[in-house]
A = this chain, B = another copy of it.
């Protein structure tokens, strides 16, 4: 599994020379994960040639699996329906399902129609499970045993399987009704005496998940109990499939990306390599929401236009209150959102966490507010501006801490994504609160300010 540093340039030259044999040998020596990045630099025709070469090596499907899904449409565009169906049908059902979703709608039925009947039937079944559910990430091939077998018979079963699938780590013991009775780690099987009964070897009542469970929840279970795979069973305990740890790693990575993206008001398919026009289209709706909230903040400032006319210096310190409040809010938001995602909230409680963030905001507001007020007094020499700045920072940062905690906890309580839009809500709130408190307090102190 050596990973030669082969640049797209070398591959292009080999393809252009027409002697495809060398390009083929080059690709054969590389791991699928190392071939995938090369595709992004190729033209439509070159992609088609590479896919053909890989198809002959029966490795095209594995290379496609290693691509960020957002890149798939470009690749699919270079391959005809027949070839695409030929490549895709080699995939496990979970990967097939994901890829089919990235085929442009107008071609989808043509490609799916060319899949073998069995694959198509499985695909139709998998499509019934909800988005991001266990049913969609599970693979349906697994090794099943009978509890009355001996360990030698189990080993023979394994040997009889045509594929040498190294990802098989557990064997599943099922009864006549296909109900999951237990699980045998392959390592146990190896060490067991040949005549030992599977019934005595298996771990009974293993952890399992339902097909409609959210993939994030499945990932948490696997990470929590340090599993290598988790079986998926229906309500009657019948074994449906398996979710393996490599899929779980993908889910964990995906969910972390989703949280980060949602905090920033981004949608998941707006990636580094997405074309600019896609990025604009994806970001525009949230930016318009953000514009509306910015005008809300502007409107609050407008309420105090008369005060600002009297003391223009107030405009100078508006960014300080808003900036510090926004930052404090984002910090609380990040701690709570990540705490929810990691299940850390179990080690505290929502209420305790929110009160803590409130307290932290209060103290931080008092500390940084004192420094800010001092600096403001030194620069403009008006004690009342300093006073307003200090008071506004204390209340704004306390409110920012509370909101930063409360918004994701509330979103979670009503079963929404705790991160989705939370950043915009929290910073809008802190801006509005900052301007209202700072300019409001300043207005109340107006007599002193103008004195």
Q: Which A residues contact B (CB, under 8 angstroms)? A: 1-3, 31, 33, 36-37, 40, 66-68, 71, 155, 158-159, 164-169, 185-191, 203, 205-207, 222-226, 228, 245-246, 248-250, 252-253, 256-257, 259-261, 263-266, 270-273, 275-276, 279-280, 283-284, 287-288, 290-291, 293-295, 297-298, 301-302, 305, 308-309, 312-313, 315-320, 322-324, 326-328, 330-331, 333-339, 342, 344-348, 353, 356, 359-360, 363-364, 367-368, 371-372, 375, 379, 423-424, 427, 431, 435
B166 touches A185 (CB 8 A): yes
Q: A186-B187, A253-B223, A323-B431 are in contact. Are A308 and B301 (CB under 8 A)?
A: no
Closest to A256 in B: B256
A316 touches B305 (CB 8 A): yes
- Give which listed residue, B222, B271, B346, B353, contacts A37 with CB less than 8 A: B346
Closest to A193 in B: B159
Max chain B CB contacts within 10 Å: which of A31, A272, A290? A272
Per the bound structure, the CA–CA distance linking A71 and B342 in Å amounts to: 15
Which residues from B are CB-within-8-Å of A280? 360, 363-364, 367
Which residues from B are CB-within-8-Å of A205? 1-2
A40 touches B348 (CB 8 A): yes
Which residues from B are CB-within-8-Å of A206? 1
**Cβ contacts A to B, 21 pairs, < 8 Å:** A1-B205, A1-B207, A40-B347, A165-B187, A166-B188, A186-B187, A186-B190, A189-B190, A223-B253, A228-B228, A259-B260, A261-B334, A265-B327, A270-B335, A283-B331, A287-B368, A298-B319, A301-B316, A305-B316, A319-B322, A323-B427
Which residues from B are CB-within-8-Å of A338? 257, 260-261
Q: A191-B159, A256-B256 are in contact. Are A291 and B335 (CB under 8 A)?
A: no
Q: A312-B308, A359-B276 are in contact. Are A339 and B1 (CB under 8 A)?
A: no
A19 → chain B closest CB, angstroms: 27
Per the bound structure, the CA–CA distance linking A359 and B277 in Å amounts to: 9
- Give which listed residue, B2, B207, B305, B319, contacts A431 with CB less than 8 A: B319
Per the bound structure, the CA–CA distance linking A372 and B295 in Å amounts to: 8
A291 touches B371 (CB 8 A): yes
Per the bound structure, the CA–CA distance linking A206 and B166 in Å amounts to: 15
B364 touches A287 (CB 8 A): yes
Closest to A404 in B: B264
Which residues from B are CB-within-8-Å of A223? 246, 249-250, 253
